[in-house]
Structure 1
Amino acid sequence: MELTKLLNLMSDGAFHSGRELGEVLGVSRSAVWKQIQRLEALGIEVYSVKGRGYRLPAGIDLLDLERFRMQLPQAALERLDEVVFEEEVASTNSLALQALNKGRNAGLYAAEYQAKGRGRRGRDWISPYGANLYFSLAWRFSAGVAALEGLSLAVGVALRRGLGRIGVDDVQLKWPNDLLSQGRKLAGILIEISGDAAGECQVVIGVGMNVAMPAGLLEQISQPIADVADLADNHPGRSELLAILVDELLDTLDRFERDGFGAVRQEWLQANAHRDSRIRLISGQEEISGICRGVDESGALLLESGGQVRSYYGGEVSLRAAE
């Protein structure tokens, strides 16, 4: 029994008896009960009341492939070799990489749940079922690895634009790959690149965005977070939001390949979460303090320290606000 079938039946937030669910799904009440336990293990809140059955108190907004296709402009949809929505995966970046290795040129891969979602520097990305957006774009660039400097920053600009289209305007960009709202993490970007230094590159652009993070999981997250549900007065739903974000990403990738990061640099600078603020850069055991002076044309961070401004690139460098 697919979880999505059960969840679709319960998405209205009303009570459904085990017998009713079993009859519709063609399984026993015992099988329904086992799947209810699985939902709870995945972080989905389920109310169970004897004599009434089960309900999802907040309902659930599952990804819908047809709704997504209807919302994404046809010209954008035609840019993608394939669009794949899965229930559960290890990570959407892994799906995108597999597609590139099979010869796909461009594709979108999204999932309701990631068992091994990853953030930058190998950190876990908390991925509750059906709550947020976890997706990856597979893409090929022809200009070589060096031409991809600043790509994560350009992706951040695209996501910020998409959020602006649904009324989420107070979004800042944290170098090199986070979106924040009032200092709280809203989304993260993980880019993986392979290929020739001067020729064709395979790029996987992974995005995790908090849409409706369950309150019960907040204690598992080591930093303050924001989600779209709290920031948007009436956000359109996960499938529609995904279509908006992908539309902006495809447009930005075209501009980036043609003009590089410089095409969106000023927009990034305007949204810089640490503009002219004291920060700390951490690389392994080394820590450098100074004032953030934005980024250069390649996306390198400009840090003023000791009367000099130096450039720092991403990779294993982390940025923190100075205490």
Structure 2
Amino acid sequence: MEKVLELLSDGSFHSGEALGSALGISRAAVWKKLKMLEELGLQLDSVKGKGYRLHPGVELLDRQKILGGLDQAVRESVVIQTCLKTASTNDLVRDIHVDSPEIKAVCLAEYQTSGRGRRGRTWNNPLGSTISMSVRWSYSAGMASLEGLSLAVGLCVVKALESCGASSLKLKWPNDVLWEPLSGKGSKESFQKLSGILLEVHGDPTGDCEVIIGIGVNIALSQDQINTINQPAVDIQRVCGMAVSRNYVASALISELCQTLDAFSQYGFGHFKKQWEQYDAFAGQSVVLDASGNSVSGVASGVNTHGGLLLKTGEGMMVFNGGEVSLKAAGPEKST
């Protein structure tokens, strides 16, 4: 399938006969390969008399373009690998060789068969329509000092997407990036998910550990693909109102993440706290927190210096380090 994608990557129409000739296979075999790609979510246009092409706005990953979008210092601090298909980039990135612990391994895939989200959820990633990226980072100060990292990474994703033209972005504790369109501003249903983050940590609680940072961003989804997602969702092309290069977004994410990890290793989450709160989607809102099956209601009151959620309840201010937050009702709740 890689060879078919290479031929289609120019965005032009290719007849089944031309594709078959270039690949050394029959037109029937070409049709089967194209159907397989469509089943993986790739958006293709088929026009009688012209042939097949990638749907406008669909761009395949290109390692050289991604590297070209990085400045020299970042290029020298990463090893980047792209692939067509894998079970999970969070697993594949662990196999990438680097010459020293200071080098970050980066893996991007066109399609994941078992992409993971938080709390055991599946991350939907139709082929060619999302960024599915994982970064392996070696950290020597122990797991305990990684508190708040997922929030810092969320802030990093917001900054990277803003540099690509996105606006009206918000952060949902602990690690979702949302878009709030002006037309629905202030309503409970207004937020639409643009990006998600998953962290996995392996190693010594007080010493060397390996951090796997998984980032998923919706780039160019069809309406049918959006309709299959079990929550309100959006892609960056809808947010920006124009086509946005996947490779450009990948470069922006890698650049911003490298800066974020370097700063986090020196200063911890406290360095990012105020900036994170400026993007807090639920600040001052009545929310419900699902923590280990227990529901707690209160007013979202920001985060502490370790990234814990501050929730003002009838019993006073409480801190939570895990759970799922949802809006209870639209509008701010008055404090008493």
1:93 aligns with 2:85: no
Aligned counterpart for 1:156 among listed residues 151, 154, 157: 154
- 1:233 deviates by 4.4
Q: Secondary structure at the match of 2:81?
A: strand
What is the match of residue 186 of structure 1?
A: 194
CA contact (8 A) 1:13 1:59 kept: no
CA contact (8 A) 1:100 1:138 kept: no
Aligned counterpart for 1:10 among listed residues 8, 11, 30: 8
CA contact (8 A) 1:166 1:235 kept: no
- 1:167 deviates by 2.0
CA contact (8 A) 2:104 2:136 kept: yes
Determine the C-alpha separation between the residues in 2 that align with 1:56 and 1:247: 28
Determine the C-alpha separation between the residues in 2 that align with 1:181 and 1:256: 25
1:254 aligns with 2:251: no
What is the match of residue 288 of structure 2?
A: 280
What is the match of residue 290 of structure 1?
A: 298
- 1:100 deviates by 7.7
Deviations 1:95-121 (A, max 9, x none): 123348998652000000011011101
Q: Which amino acid aligns with 1:250?
A: C
Determine the C-alpha separation between the residues in 2 that align with 1:135 and 1:71: 16
- 1:232 deviates by 1.8
Per the alignment, do residues 142 and 225 of structure 1 end up closer, same or farther by CA in structure 2, a change over 3 Å counting?
same
- Equivalences for 1:1-323 in 2 at 5 Å? 3-58=1-56, 60-80=58-78, 82-99=79-96, 105-182=103-180, 183-234=191-242, 236-314=244-322, 317-323=323-329
Q: Which piece of structure 1 moves more, 89-98 or 171-180? A: 89-98
Per the alignment, do residues 75 and 101 of structure 1 end up closer, same or farther by CA in structure 2, a change over 3 Å counting?
closer
- 1:59 deviates by 5.6
CA contact (8 A) 1:10 1:59 kept: no
Q: Secondary structure at the match of 2:305?
A: coil
Per the alignment, do residues 165 and 101 of structure 1 end up closer, same or farther by CA in structure 2, a change over 3 Å counting?
closer
Q: Secondary structure at the match of 1:240?
A: helix
Q: Percent identity?
A: 40
CA contact (8 A) 2:114 2:122 kept: yes
| Number of corresponding residues | 318
Determine the C-alpha separation between the residues in 1 that align with 2:44 and 2:96: 35
Unaligned runs of 5+ residues in structure 2 are 181-190, 330-336
Per the alignment, do residues 201 and 101 of structure 1 end up closer, same or farther by CA in structure 2, a change over 3 Å counting?
farther
- 1:60 deviates by 2.5
TM-score (norm 1): 0.93
Per the alignment, do residues 59 and 5 of structure 1 end up closer, same or farther by CA in structure 2, a change over 3 Å counting?
farther
Determine the C-alpha separation between the residues in 1 that align with 2:224 and 2:42: 9
TM-score (norm 2): 0.90
CA contact (8 A) 1:11 1:59 kept: no
- 1:173 deviates by 0.5
Per the alignment, do residues 287 and 41 of structure 1 end up closer, same or farther by CA in structure 2, a change over 3 Å counting?
same
Q: Which amino acid aligns with 1:62?
A: L
Per the alignment, do residues 103 and 89 of structure 1 end up closer, same or farther by CA in structure 2, a change over 3 Å counting?
farther
- 1:257 deviates by 0.5
Determine the C-alpha separation between the residues in 2 that align with 1:176 and 1:59: 31
Determine the C-alpha separation between the residues in 2 that align with 1:236 and 1:55: 18
Deviations 1:219-271 (A, max 9, x none): 22111112111112455411111111110000010000000001111000000
Q: Secondary structure at the match of 1:221?
A: coil
- 1:22 deviates by 1.3
Per the alignment, do residues 58 and 236 of structure 1 end up closer, same or farther by CA in structure 2, a change over 3 Å counting?
closer
Q: Secondary structure at the match of 1:322?
A: strand
Deviations 1:144-202 (A, max 9, x none): 00100000000011111111212212110100010000110010000000111110111
Q: Secondary structure at the match of 2:171?
A: strand
CA contact (8 A) 2:98 2:104 kept: no
Q: Which amino acid aligns with 2:15?
A: S
CA contact (8 A) 1:96 1:137 kept: yes
CA contact (8 A) 2:237 2:244 kept: no
Per the alignment, do residues 40 and 192 of structure 1 end up closer, same or farther by CA in structure 2, a change over 3 Å counting?
same
Q: Which amino acid aligns with 1:290?
A: G
